Amino acid sequence: MNNPPHIAIAGVTGAVGQEFLRLLEQRSFPFASMKMLASARSAGKTVDFKGTTYTIEELTADSFDGVDLALFSAGGSISKKFGPIAAEKGCVVVDNSSAFRMDPDTPLVVPEVNPQEIANHKGIIANPNCSTIIMNVPVWPLHQAFGVKRVVVSTYQAASGAGAQAMAELEQQAKDWVADDPITQDIFGRQYIWNLFSHNSDIDPDTGYNTEETKMIKETRKIFGIEDIQVSVTCIRVPVLRAHCESINLTFEKPATEQQVREILAAAPGVTVLDDRENNQHPEPLIASDEDDVYVGRIRTDAGQPEGYGIEMFIAGDQIRKGAALNAVQIAELLLT
């Protein structure tokens, strides 16, 4: 794309869609025109962006006429229906759903890891799962240095991963609890505040892994281009509004000192090291919220592995931002170069 593109945002009323707009403005993303697209029930409403009021249009097959770039965050079924239509019309789609992630003809991209894959797109580029992105940003530079044989990760996932309605319900549950009212339980069907529970995606009856865990395993292998990397995942919902946390244990092929790991992470793009043992200052959801970088701390040698071959760390990253909208906008920025 040599000239400022004509852009469409599909799913503009959602949490990620709104974050798309914030980031496009904050990062001064160039554009020739902008379309705001959503479902029929949102059509006719207005959105203010960069001093201009836009009227939301219903997403249809004709929405992508004359559009060069579309950022999708409208759900998998919508992406499957309209993504190929947009691509056929010459529009490049950056899709935030899981619809095309494991399609062998669709690049699955984390710009800090595999930006070269963008050039292989056939009209659609997939944005990985939020937890996968947040994990891979700090794990990749360590893999480049020491070779990661195995990743064991437990996630602590915020309400934002289930959308704006889940965030609103968590806030409502807090109000209900304070007022001693019945706890609203429309999204997850259970009390969320003062609780945590296994991720709400479907569990495979044979493997015992839920869909979120399987995504992280398969997507990491595709992004790294290493089919035999060992990834074991447990995904948990916690009562946090936004920003996911993850406890990560790595097994290396080559020995590494704790200091080497710190130095590599400190120099890695998209990473901020926050590891103050004396004052117990480490990554937290509130610290990572509204931030671009993935925060990494609790860096220490794994006492349960041979000396130098294992490392423990704890990370936090904004699920709506780097875990979704920012990653997509970074891909779009690379398309302009």
> Which of the residues are catalytic?
130, 244
List strands edge to edge, sheet with 310-317: 197-198, 230-237, 148-157, 244-252, 310-317, 294-301, 271-273
- Which of 212, 250, 211 minimizes the C-alpha distance to 230? 250
- Which of 280, 2, 283 minimizes the C-alpha distance to 135? 283
- 19 vs 52, 124, 149, CA distance in Å? 17, 20, 35
End-to-end CA distance of the chain: 7
**C-alpha dihedral, 226 to 227 to 230 to 235, nearest 10°:** 100
Cβ(51)–Cβ(27) below 8 Å = no
Q: Which residue has the tokens 């050039």?
A: 119
Q: Which amino acid is at 183?
A: I
- 139 vs 294, 306, 312, CA distance in Å? 11, 19, 11
Task: Report strand pairing: 197-198 vs 52-55.
Answer: unpaired
**C-alpha dihedral, 21 to 69 to 216 to 225, nearest 10°:** -140
For residue 48, give both structure tokens.
């203010």
Q: Which residue has the tokens 């759900």?
A: 75
Q: State how far the Cα of 36 lies from the Cα of 86, in Å rounded to an integer.
A: 15
Question: Strand (E) positions, 217-302?
Answer: 230-237, 244-252, 271-273, 294-301
- Which of 92, 85, 124, 89 minimizes the C-alpha distance to 108? 124
